[in-house]
Structure 1
Amino acid sequence: MVAEVAPVYGFTGGRAVSFAAALVALAGAVLGGLALFRFVRRRAVIALAAGAVGVVGGGWVVAVAEGGPGSGSGIVGGLVALVFGLVALALGGMALKRS
């Protein structure tokens, strides 16, 4: 028999880590886009670093998550952080290549 887990509505540790990683990755994606249009090398490097932090943080949350969406483990935020992190890495890399 499979036990069902009740949904968690609070702000748990997994959700906090995934939220922080997604926020950093989103900032990296924005800076990567700005660097791509304005050719600023410093923004491109910051976008790469923020994207790496987002990918590592999101990947860690997804790897250690013990439940699915609604379980309080932060898996949805971890996946969002992975996507934003990859976008930030791509934009930062393209901007760095152009500058």
Structure 2
Amino acid sequence: MDSIQEAADKIKLLGDKTRLTILTLLKEREWCVCEFVEILDMSQPGISQHLRKLKDQGLVKENKRGQWVYYSLNVENTPYIKSVLELMPDTATILKSLNKENVTSVCN
């Protein structure tokens, strides 16, 4: 179990809408940085900054494939984060709310 401070630091990350959206999307599959750029209408450096914070706290893992970096969820050892994410909407609902139902990957 994490210490109180470690848990507080991880939970604090969920207070940011962009990071919570990223983690929620990662519930169903891994995503490439370029896909998050398109979905969230943010710059690549902005998305990378959010992902770095999540990675630093161990909530996501990265996997490099050529020039692209793919991220996946890593919350098996943080049941309190996993519990929060289980209450979040599914990917289709999130994409619809952002008017991004037809996102196509440009990473391939």
Q: Compare the two structures and name the one with the higher strand fraction.
A: 2
Give the TM-score normalised by structure 1: 0.33
Q: Compare the two structures and name the one with the higher helix fraction.
A: 1
Structure with the greater relative contact order (CA < 8 A, sep ≥ 6): 1 or 2? 1
